[in-house]
Each structure stands twice: as C-alpha cells, then as structure tokens.
Amino acid sequence: MARASSPPAVLLVDDEPHSLSAMRMALEDEFEILTAANADEAEAILKDEWVQVILCDQRMPGRTGVEFLADVRDRWPETVRIVITGYTDTSAMIAAINEAGIHQFLTKPWHPDQLVMATRNAARLFQLARENERLALEMRLLTSTAESRLEKRRKALREGMGFETVLRTPNSPINATIQQARQFASFDVPVLLVGEAGSGKAQIARAMHYGSLRSDKPFYELNLAGLPEDLAFVELLGAKRGVLTGGVARMGLLQKADRGTLYLSGVETASPALQLTLLRVLTEGAFTPVGGQETLGTNLRLICGAEGDLRARVADGAFRADLYFALAAGEIAVPPLRARRGDVAILAQAMLAELAVQHGKPVHGLEEPALEFLENYDWPGNLRELKNEITRMLIFAQETVLGADLISRHILQAPPSEDGADRSAEAALTADGTLKDRVELMEMRILRETLTRHRWNKSRAAAELGLSRVGLRAKLDRYGIADPSATVEEE
C-alpha cells in the first residue's frame, strides 16, 4: 500500500551534472528522483530501488544509453525506458527500438514541460502495464461473462492515453495535425477531420475525446460509408417499440453519446435527409427517434471524418453548405501515410509487436532492408494496408526477425524514390520513352524483387528467371543493383 500512495520513482542517468540538475528541478515536484552518472551506478540503484521510469542520455562514457537500456530490458523489463539524444537519425531510432525497447525519444534541447509530460505518460504506461497484469490474473479465475467485462476494461486502459497513441518521429509531418487537434480538443466545438481512408482519422478523434473535458464520458464511432439510409437512422436516432423486428425499442448513438463524443466517419456519403438530421443535432441539440413523435435532446460533441474535398461536393450540391460550415470551423487535414515516410518504420515495429502478442508468435523486429522497402512504398491503403502487410509477414515468418523476403511482390517491385512508389508496372506501360527504356525499367524491378525474395541467393534467382549466373551478374552490373546488406557490411 505504501508504494501505491508514494510518487513514482524516476531514475535519471547522465554523465553531465548540470543536465542531471536541470532534469531533477523539472521533475522533483511530481516524482521521487534518483540519479546516476553512468550505467554502472544506475544498475546498482536498480538492484535496490523499485524504479518505474528511466530517462537516460545516449552519449555517455563506457556504455551508451541504448546499450545500457538493452540490459535493463532483459533484467527489469517492466521499467519504462526513455532516451534523451541530440540526434534524430531514423536508423538509430529503429535500432534502439529493436535492441532496447525504447518507449520514447526526447531530443535536445528539451523543454521542461515536454520532459514532465513524457515522464507522466511513462509512469502512466507503467501503471497500465501493472493493471493489465492484475487483470490477466483475474481473468483466469472468472466466468466467460466476467472475462468479457475485464477485456473491455483493459481496452479502455489501452485507448485512454490520448495523443500519445499516435506513433510518430520527432519531425513527423503529422505533428502539425496533432498540434491542431490538441488545440481543438479542449474547445467544445464540432470538428471535421479530412483525409484518405485508413489515414488514422478515427485514432485522432478518439485522442481528441480523451484530451477534452468529456474524457470521463463515453466515446462512440460509426462509419456511414456504405450504410443504408434506414439503418443509419436507426443506429443514430434509435427506434421506438414496434418499428424493429421483435417489437423492442432501441437506443440510438445520439442518446448513448450524451455528454460524450460521437465520431462519424464517411460523412461525405450521408444522404440529404441524414445531413439535415445532423444539422439539427448541431444547431438545436435535438432529434426524433425513428417511429416516434417526441423530440429528445442530446449534449454530445460531434466529430466527423471525410474523404476527399467536401467543398467540391458543396459546390456540386451533393453536400449541404450549412452543415459543412457548421463543421468547418474545426477542419483538420490528416496526411496520408505516403507523406509520413519517416514514420513507417516505427509504425511497422509497433504493429508487429501488437500482432505478435495477439497471435502468440514471438518475433523481435524487422530487418533494415525490410524497413527500407516498407518506407519506399506509397501505401494507398494507408495504415490499414500497412497493418495487413505486417500481419501477412508475421504469418509466413520462420525467423524471429522478419526479412524483406516476406514482403509482397508488388511492394518489392516498387522503384526506390523520394517521391514514392507506383505499386505496379503501370508507369512503365504509360510513360514516355522508347520501348527499350520501358522494358529495361520493368526488367530492373523484376530482378530486384526476385533477388529479395530469395534473400539474394543468385543461383536460385537465376534459376527462376531462366538465366545463367554469369548472365544474371551481367544484368545486375548493368543496372547497378547490389545486395543492400553487403553494402552495409562494407560501410
């Protein structure tokens, strides 16, 4: 009981005394602070103290921060690990995630508020992990009905961390979106999230709810895309007794989400009648259940998600102008995954870790060449397509570290480019140029994809392509195609 009531213990590791002093001053009001000048002193403290969070500098004499935290991960895995570094090299971050299970990177110079917020979130993550362990033990002893309730509690704990659930690098293009969403979250106004399907609009909407004054109230979401109008009305407005089969009444989401938040995706597909209903909810806070006569009130916050340009639909008469302008005061653009190329590695690693636990298949990460192929692809299906690809790789994986040979062929054939991949041979078929140039472009992609699938075994690749090893080597020299892993070793 004493531990539960005492402030969380935070270990600061830095070889520079003034840095330790600055961090202590920023954190000592909320946390019990322990300090160490190097990795050896830190390990001695960990043996005697119950540390929940470690903030460690990367550049230290002896062991680096990542090397030290890799040892911590093995011996004290429940401790949340944060690295403070003056560098933002993506490959170094990926290596740190694989080796030491880093929770977050803080870049120098850090702001005291940023340091306090990161430490609060880490301490909260530690508490959630402990709570999850307790819930897991309870679930083994309860009936199936009780297990369902506990799983909902665990899900609520995982989802209750707000904007910290949006994984991104320090310089990610989505940071501007997150900043806007944070600003709007604390103001009780409607919000319109605009972005491609699967770009993470629902995750941002949920984070806005948990970052608002309504965070202790329910959050509901409904996808209107492809939903028949009559079913959409029943889902939103509810229905009086006798309207539905079975003669039972049904409560709609507008009533369930009272004092909470309702997120409607695919709002651009809403019928004219449904648009009018939503406008009434926004302007009057009122609605009428299906089959009813009385008017009910609701005090909910409405967040809508849309694909494409709603202004164009307003101009075409397909979307109500008054509804659009009721939503547009809080319009936020969510970038597609192809615009967040630097985030792909972190997102892929996080998805893999989650899927590995879900499917009970132990894996430890992705190889560098695999991450390069994933970062090069333009992901037209955004986060959903990335998760599907990681799931597929996990299913076929035979090793604990996933290689590029597991990646789908259309991704492997994508040309390396800063502007993104085209996912197929379509560019070669439709682009300008001679027949010879266009055929060579397709040949180069096929060679690269085949060699990757065979883990750069030239004999197998040559056999599949019907070439001799000499012929294959000549083509590789001609197109400048080289084994990326060999290049890394030479460097």
pLDDT tens, position by position, 207-254: 999 888 888 889 999 999 989 999 999 999 988 887 777 767 889 999
- Tell whether 293 is covered by a domain: yes
Range of the domain at 29: 2-149
Question: Are 100 and 59 found together in one domain?
Answer: yes
- Rounded Cα–Cα distance for residues 154 and 131 (Å): 8
- Tell whether 159 is covered by a domain: no
| Domain C-terminal end among 312, 335, 358 | 335
Provide the 3-class DSSP secondary structure of residue 193.
Answer: strand
- Tell whether 155 is covered by a domain: no
Report the C-alpha dihedral over residues 54, 55, 60, 61, rounded to 10 degrees: -30
Phi-psi region of 200 (alpha: psi -120 to 50; beta: other; left: phi over 0): left
- Tell whether 314 is covered by a domain: yes
| 283: its two tokens | 């302007």
- Tell whether 70 is covered by a domain: yes
Question: Are 367 and 350 found together in one domain?
Answer: yes
Residues of the chain with pLDDT under 50: 1-4, 154, 157-160, 417-426, 487-491
Question: Are 239 and 382 found together in one domain?
Answer: no
Q: What is the pLDDT of residue 89?
A: 63
Question: Are 361 and 323 found together in one domain?
Answer: no
- Rounded Cα–Cα distance for residues 314 and 324 (Å): 8
Question: Are 37 and 124 found together in one domain?
Answer: yes
Q: For residue 188, how far is the Cα from the chain centroid?
A: 25
The CATH number of the domain holding residue 454 is 1.10.8.60
| Domain C-terminal end among 307, 335, 363 | 335
Question: Are 316 and 288 found together in one domain?
Answer: yes
- Tell whether 157 is covered by a domain: no
| Domain C-terminal end among 95, 114, 149 | 149
Q: What is the pLDDT of residue 197?
A: 92
Question: Are 52 and 120 found together in one domain?
Answer: yes
- Tell whether 240 is covered by a domain: yes
Q: Tell me how many domains the chain contains.
A: 3
- Tell whether 132 is covered by a domain: yes
- Rounded Cα–Cα distance for residues 343 and 105 (Å): 13
Whether pTM > 0.85 for this model: the answer is: no
- 307 to each of 118, 267, 268, 439, how far by Cα in Å? 33, 8, 7, 36
Question: Are 109 and 171 found together in one domain?
Answer: no
Query: Residue 192: which residues within 8 A CB-CB, separation 6 or more?
Result: 267, 303, 304, 305, 306, 310, 324, 327, 328, 330, 331, 332
Question: Are 177 and 308 found together in one domain?
Answer: yes
Report the C-alpha dihedral over residues 426, 429, 433, 437, rounded to 10 degrees: 90
Question: Are 268 and 139 found together in one domain?
Answer: no
Q: What is the pLDDT of residue 490?
A: 40
Question: Are 301 and 346 found together in one domain?
Answer: no
The CATH number of the domain holding residue 316 is 3.40.50.300
Q: What is the pLDDT of residue 491?
A: 38
Question: Are 325 and 177 found together in one domain?
Answer: yes
The CATH number of the domain holding residue 103 is 3.40.50.2300
> What's the first-to-final CA gap in the chain, in angstroms?
54
Residue 83 bridge partners (DSSP): 56, 105
